[in-house]
A and B are shown apart, each in its own frame.
Chain A
Amino acid sequence: KNEVEQSPQNLTAQEGEFITINCSYSVGISALHWLQQHPGGGIVSLFMLSSGKKKHGRLIATINIQEKHSSLHITASHPRDSAVYICAVETYNTDKLIFGTGTRLQVFP
Chain B
Amino acid sequence: NAGVTQTPKFQVLKTGQSMTLQCAQDMNHEYMSWYRQDPGMGLRLIHYSVGAGITDQGEVPNGYNVSRSTTEDFPLRLLSAAPSQTSVYFCASRPNFAVGNTIYFGEGSWLTVV
Please report A residues at the B interface, Cβ cutoff 8 Å: 2, 4, 30-31, 33, 35, 41-45, 48, 50, 86, 88, 90, 95-102
Contact = CB atoms under 8 A, between A and B. Distances in A.
B6 to A, nearest CB: 8
B82 interface: no
Interface of B: 31, 35, 40-45, 48, 50, 58-59, 90, 92, 97, 99-108
8 contacts: A31-B99, A31-B100, A35-B105, A41-B108, A42-B106, A43-B92, A48-B102, A96-B45
Contact of A101 (B42, B92, B108): B42
Nearest to A42: B107
Main secondary structure of the interface of B (DSSP, over half): loop
Given A45-B104, A48-B102, A98 B42 contact: yes
A98 B7 CA distance: 25
Nearest to B97: A95
Contacts of B106: 42
- Please list the 9 inter-chain residue pairs (A to B) with the smallest Cβ-Cβ separation, ordered nearest first: A99-B42, A43-B105, A42-B107, A95-B97, A99-B43, A30-B99, A101-B42, A31-B99, A45-B102
A43 B103 CA distance: 9
| Best-surrounded residue of A31, A43, A99 (most CB of chain B within 10 A) | A43
A98 B104 CA distance: 16
A50 B101 CA distance: 11
Given A43-B92, A48-B100, A88-B43, 9 more contacts: A30-B99, A41-B108, A43-B108, A45-B105, A88-B103, A96-B48, A96-B59, A101-B40, A101-B41
A66 B41 CA distance: 26
Contacts, number: 57
Contact of B103 (A30, A33, A98): A33
A98 B31 CA distance: 16
A42 B108 contact: yes
A42 B105 contact: yes
Which residue of B50, B58, B105 has the most chain A CB atoms within 10 A of its CB atom? B105
